[in-house]
Structure 1
Amino acid sequence: MLDDLPPDLHRLETLRMWHALWLDRIDAKIARLRAEGEQQACAVQQRVERAPEWLLERGIGHGGRPVEVHCGDCHAAGKRRQGISAEEARRALADGVPACTHCRPDTELGVLEG
């Protein structure tokens, strides 16, 4: 059996106290990281719940012209986008803004071409 601990009670008690203090620090950090993880998960959930139902993607530049209409959860929507209402999405499609070919917002909104 490996016995590399000090032979006297005083040093053993000192080691025990030192390790207890470290365990307290480790437990406190674990609790803090768990709380931060829960807060981040909650923030992500709130962002998902507040995701717009429809997106309008815009072109490059300040006030870029609309280039495509997307469903709110479309993976193909670019970075230059803004959330819009269903009525605004229908109006954009009627004004000639193309519908995304991946998520097909025109089909979802019941807008027929022609």
Structure 2
Amino acid sequence: MRERFAARPVTPPHSGDLARHDPRPGPGTDRRRRTTRSRETLRGRARPPTPDWTVELGIGVGAPPSEIHAGGCYAAGKRQRTIDRGQARQLLADGVRACTHCRPDSELGVLE
């Protein structure tokens, strides 16, 4: 009987030379290339500094601010804007609620 397939040399499953020099890309090769490129591009860019104070805005255009946060507060929502110390004090004096987690009113010295 004639063989239908060409005989392949038998190699151990973890031979390092064959795994490194395999010309066929394996699954996920493109993904690895993309993540490597994105890491390289992000290395050149620095993150902006964390703001000292932020105000969380309400939903909708022109909605009033809902809460004041310290810059690194984990409870701040997605709709936020950076403000300075004077603006934070003024908003707290106008009745905008202070975050109960980061307590910006205590740090700013504003007592209700």
TM bucket (normalised to shorter chain) is: 0.5 to 0.7
Q: How does 1:35-114 map to 2 (within 5 A)?
A: 35-43=37-45, 45-46=46-47, 49-113=48-112
Number of the residue aligned with 1:13: none
1:9-37 CA distance string (max 9 Å, x none): xxxxxxxxxx57669xxxxx967743421
CA distance in structure 2 between the aligned counterparts of 1:62 and 1:31, rounded to whole angstroms: 41
Aligned pair count reads: 95
Give the secondary-structure state (helix, strand or coil) at the position aligned to 2:55: strand
User: Which sections of structure 2, spanning at least 5 residues, go unmatched?
Assistant: 1-6, 10-20, 26-30
Change (3 A) 1:75 1:42: farther
Amino acid at match of 1:71: A
Give the secondary-structure state (helix, strand or coil) at the position aligned to 2:105: helix
CA distance in structure 2 between the aligned counterparts of 1:38 and 1:104, rounded to whole angstroms: 38
Q: Provide the TM-score with structure 2 as the length reference.
A: 0.64
Instruction: Could you list the structure 1 runs, at least 4 aligned residues long, displaced by more than 2 angstroms after superposition.
Output: 19-23, 29-36, 38-43
CA apart distance, 1:53: 1.5
CA distance in structure 1 between the aligned counterparts of 2:96 and 2:82, rounded to whole angstroms: 15
More helix, by proportion:
1
CA apart distance, 1:4: 3.8
CA distance in structure 1 between the aligned counterparts of 2:99 and 2:43, rounded to whole angstroms: 30
Q: Provide the TM-score with structure 1 as the length reference.
A: 0.63
Amino acid at match of 1:79: K
User: Which sections of structure 1, spanning at least 5 residues, go unmatched?
Assistant: 6-18, 24-28
